[in-house]
Structure 1
């Protein structure tokens, strides 16, 4: 199908919209009226979750990575996300740009400097703080948290939803992925429950990103001006961005998100090149090679390591938080990736969603984190101490030590702001689709409701955490757990679907090959038989013609003999007379 012919209908809000929006609204009301009780209960739930399910987060995330790699190299990789003749709807550049601008770009910009520096001061267990080894570990773990594992999580949901939407003509709902397991029950309360849990996880994950963006923009503005860096400034930033995203949302995916994503990718590229060129270029190059080698050789131990023989909380506040945040973010990223990935094969999808972002994560963290560590270890220093108290200032403090710091800091605020707007736009679009019966063109009213609810959720989380990260981290880890189990069933469901469709495709291919072979054999047999038949027919025709000619000649000779006899008889008669 021509990519210009793709059209999507608008559906009315479903029961999922009313139930989930009421639940999120009640949560916002609770946080607004009693932020202290919200914080206390959330912290208790967090401690229980990490203690009892920390191992589960580590194990399931490692499994997701292995699963998507298997899909990419398996025969299933040739299956297309759509009908066999569907073409990709977006160019490669726009597609990759929208992957980042959908929200994960905020994580790169926020944590690209902060993580390596924080881990330099507070490294994983078995590393000594403020040493060369802890610096290397900081870059490696920072890249590890944003490379294969998160994109494996996103790709499972995105791949599943794209396949059931465009190949099976199911609505854009998380429950649609469970049709091979649940059948028509996905249209009942079983399906609605799955969709409600997905919406709640998504709204929390997106609210976490909102909070991080607001923290970093506020930190940047306070670094450049006299604007105070506190929770109320953060809430004002959220309100302004919520107002701005309405204009982008009104334009839709093809104009609003796509245009802003292309702009953001270009700005991020220029930003990256500037730091690479004016920063410690050789140190960055060496850091990248070291980080890449360390990541490849240690990715399995890092993925399957816990601390059962110590009281260290490092994994809980770092790795497990990131895995939970990515899982809570997965319904949003998955549905959005599915929306923009129509027409691509599974193998092409995995290359774009898994390999390219992972490489970019290694490059980005090596560049920005490596620059910050170089300044901390061999330059004026002071970055690590400041970042420990105000993590959102990490990027701006680093830029302050480079040339043209004012210009680059302003550019960084603009970059984060555009990422923030596209995140809000993408989030409202996805939540609108999930609560509008899977419509890929949700109404403007539904998108605005979700934009306001997410903004409210982020605001109350920031208030309950006093403008810090703790409440944001807590919310992500708690809400991700139910969806992690949903993802496990999703893996089983999509394997059943792929296996069935692959067998059908192989059967069709076999029938086409059989028809082709019959046609070829028929043509070859025809030419071979034609010569033999020609010789046989020639002999038969020769015998028939020979007999016919013989009869004709015999008749002619007979007639001639008769005539000759008649003439002789008449001649003898005349002689007698």
Structure 2
């Protein structure tokens, strides 16, 4: 047990935890002022860096296509004798339940309304068509290129280079070399950790209120805020438990969630009356 604790990078654990608790305390204590400043930051980033973000997205898309169709696409992410551990269907279900299922609850209903409120779309002659067009940028091949390049980098690191230290900085070692062992590696890992926390918080903040409202409607619970916190704790506990149990357990859970999702879609299609 002591050896396992010694292997933990406590700097990468404590700083994000302290940061999350600090930011949560500030947001809870000063909700109105926090919302004001966050809106200012978001407006500044949209106005100044939207074009840069699009360039980065196009770069990742082109990089994904090049990696797939060039000689690098022939590199097997594993030993020459390795066989796929799971079928394409299982991998597809794992990808679906890890990145899309929660977002569909929220975005499928009102994503176009969010885009319709943006200043650069409000001025267009047909707001509905433009807002739906930007939805394709969110769900089309460009956004998937971000996931693809990161997955390929990690797969190469783990199964080809045989580097078992699962840090984001380790995936950059072929480019940065020994700098990864110093402050540069720490900064990369901290940025990646905070990005993951922010992405998870965004998903929860958008999908959980809708889920809590539905559960509250079914069971007659009126305290939606408390119910949201309870549901978040349940979801985190479930996924944490299955992650510790390993890929087989996670595959089983993903298949179960996907089955329920297909059942829900079939119910809506056949019995919703629309």
TM-score by length of 1: 0.42
Instruction: Name the counterpart of 1:95.
Output: 91
Deviation at 1:96, TM superposition (A): 0.9
Deviation at 1:197, TM superposition (A): 0.8
Matching residue within 8, 11, 15 for 1:13? 8
Rounded to whole Å, the distance in 2 between the matches of 1:35 and 1:117 is 24
Q: Residue deviations 1:206-225, cap 9 Å, x none?
A: 11112223112023235545
**Contact in 2 for aligned 1:101/1:261 (Cα 8 Å):** yes
The answer on 1:208 being equivalent to 2:202 is yes
**Contact in 1 for aligned 2:124/2:130 (Cα 8 Å):** no
Instruction: Name the counterpart of 1:163.
Output: 156
Deviation at 1:137, TM superposition (A): 5.0
SS in 1 for 2:139: coil
Moved more, 225-234 or 209-218: 225-234
The answer on 1:107 being equivalent to 2:103 is yes
Matches within 5 A, 1:38-117: 38-116=34-112
Instruction: Name the counterpart of 2:126.
Output: 128
The answer on 1:182 being equivalent to 2:185 is no
The answer on 1:235 being equivalent to 2:229 is yes
Deviation at 1:250, TM superposition (A): 4.5
Q: Residue deviations 1:553-577, cap 9 Å, x none?
A: xxxxxxxxxxxxxxxxxxxxxxxxx
Deviation at 1:183, TM superposition (A): 0.9
The answer on 1:264 being equivalent to 2:257 is yes
Matches within 5 A, 1:521-532: none
**Can you give the 5+ residue segments of structure 1 that lack an aligned partner in the other structure?**
1-8, 280-401, 406-577
Instruction: Name the counterpart of 1:32.
Output: 28
Cα gap change, 1:214/1:193 in structure 2, threshold over 3 Å: closer, same or farther? same
Rounded to whole Å, the distance in 1 between the matches of 2:131 and 2:266 is 22
Rounded to whole Å, the distance in 2 between the matches of 1:140 and 1:51 is 19
**Can you give the 5+ residue segments of structure 2 that lack an aligned partner in the other structure?**
none
**Contact in 2 for aligned 1:110/1:213 (Cα 8 Å):** yes
Deviation at 1:63, TM superposition (A): 2.0
Deviation at 1:173, TM superposition (A): 1.2
Rounded to whole Å, the distance in 2 between the matches of 1:13 and 1:35 is 35
Deviation at 1:71, TM superposition (A): 1.7
SS in 2 for 1:110: helix
SS in 2 for 1:126: coil
Rounded to whole Å, the distance in 1 between the matches of 2:17 and 2:220 is 37
Rounded to whole Å, the distance in 2 between the matches of 1:275 and 1:200 is 37
**Contact in 1 for aligned 2:116/2:122 (Cα 8 Å):** no
**Contact in 1 for aligned 2:168/2:192 (Cα 8 Å):** yes
Rounded to whole Å, the distance in 1 between the matches of 2:172 and 2:194 is 18
**Contact in 2 for aligned 1:65/1:148 (Cα 8 Å):** yes
**Contact in 1 for aligned 2:169/2:186 (Cα 8 Å):** yes
Deviation at 1:80, TM superposition (A): 1.3
Deviation at 1:128, TM superposition (A): 3.0
Cα gap change, 1:124/1:169 in structure 2, threshold over 3 Å: closer, same or farther? farther
**Contact in 2 for aligned 1:81/1:163 (Cα 8 Å):** yes
Structure with greater contact order relative to length (CA < 8 Å, sep ≥ 6) = 1
**Contact in 1 for aligned 2:106/2:207 (Cα 8 Å):** yes
Cα gap change, 1:108/1:162 in structure 2, threshold over 3 Å: closer, same or farther? same
**Contact in 1 for aligned 2:168/2:189 (Cα 8 Å):** yes
Tell me which structure has the larger Cα radius of gyration: 1
Q: Residue deviations 1:314-354, cap 9 Å, x none?
A: xxxxxxxxxxxxxxxxxxxxxxxxxxxxxxxxxxxxxxxxx
Deviation at 1:37, TM superposition (A): 3.9
Rounded to whole Å, the distance in 2 between the matches of 1:32 and 1:118 is 24
**Contact in 2 for aligned 1:112/1:142 (Cα 8 Å):** no
**Contact in 2 for aligned 1:20/1:196 (Cα 8 Å):** yes
Cα gap change, 1:124/1:63 in structure 2, threshold over 3 Å: closer, same or farther? farther
Matches within 5 A, 1:245-394: 245-255=239-249, 257-276=250-269, 278=270
Cα gap change, 1:200/1:121 in structure 2, threshold over 3 Å: closer, same or farther? closer
Rounded to whole Å, the distance in 2 between the matches of 1:119 and 1:182 is 39
Deviation at 1:191, TM superposition (A): 0.6
**Contact in 2 for aligned 1:218/1:229 (Cα 8 Å):** no
Cα gap change, 1:10/1:114 in structure 2, threshold over 3 Å: closer, same or farther? farther
Q: Residue deviations 1:507-543, cap 9 Å, x none?
A: xxxxxxxxxxxxxxxxxxxxxxxxxxxxxxxxxxxxx
